[in-house]
């Protein structure tokens, strides 16, 4: 599975669990409805945090460069959306840093897309970034 597919899966997984608390577990679910299914209580603080995250203005685009063992280096450009990670609202750059592999052989680097507008994210073997803002992984 390639890195872009893993990022998509991670973002879907993060979106699914954003704001989950122990109160959201089946053991704490409300009484059964007429359909026989338990209704889950709404966590107002998680809903408020997610709403605040969604309402923020976009941040600048970021370039993300990846080195994964056994595959050519790759890159992509991400928009400036905000996402919930571990109950915190984070921008695209912080989301990438929080969700990237940190082990040996992996490296993820990010920079603002405006610092290298000519960068080709479609290259077969993506060249390293020039103005790295943050990096994570054992192969950086």
Give percent above pLDDT 90 in the chain: 45
Q: Within a domain: residue 38?
A: no
- Cα distance between residue 140 and residue 135, in whole Å: 7
**pLDDT tens sequence across 8-44:** 444 434 444 344 333 333 333 333 334 444 444 445 5
Flag whether the pTM goes above 0.95: no
Q: Within a domain: residue 127?
A: yes
Q: Give the end-to-end CA distance of the chain in Å, rounded to a whole number.
A: 22
Give me the number of domains the chain comprises: 1
Q: Within a domain: residue 47?
A: no
**pLDDT tens sequence across 82-109:** 888 888 888 989 999 999 999 999 999 9
- Cα distance between residue 88 and residue 49, in whole Å: 8
Domain ranges, residue 59: 3-17+54-136
Residue 73's pLDDT band (cuts 50, 70, 90)? very high
Average pLDDT, the chain: 75
Grouping H, G, I as helix, E, B as strand and the rest as coil, residue 66 is strand
């Amino acid at each position: 599975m390639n890195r872009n597919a893993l990022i998509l899966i991670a973002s879907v997984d993060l979106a699914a669990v954003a704001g989950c608390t122990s109160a959201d577990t089946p053991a704490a679910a409300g009484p059964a409805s007429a359909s026989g299914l338990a209704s889950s209580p709404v966590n107002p603080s998680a809903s408020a945090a997610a709403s605040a995250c969604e309402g923020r203005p976009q941040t600048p685009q970021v370039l993300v460069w990846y080195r994964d063992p056994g595959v050519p280096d790759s890159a992509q450009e991400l928009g400036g959306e905000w996402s919930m990670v571990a109950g915190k609202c984070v921008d695209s750059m912080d989301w990438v840093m929080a969700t990237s592999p940190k082990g040996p052989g992996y490296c993820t680097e990010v920079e603002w897309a405006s610092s290298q507008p000519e960068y080709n994210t479609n290259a077969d073997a993506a060249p390293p970034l020039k103005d790295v803002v943050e990096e994570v992984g054992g192969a950086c």
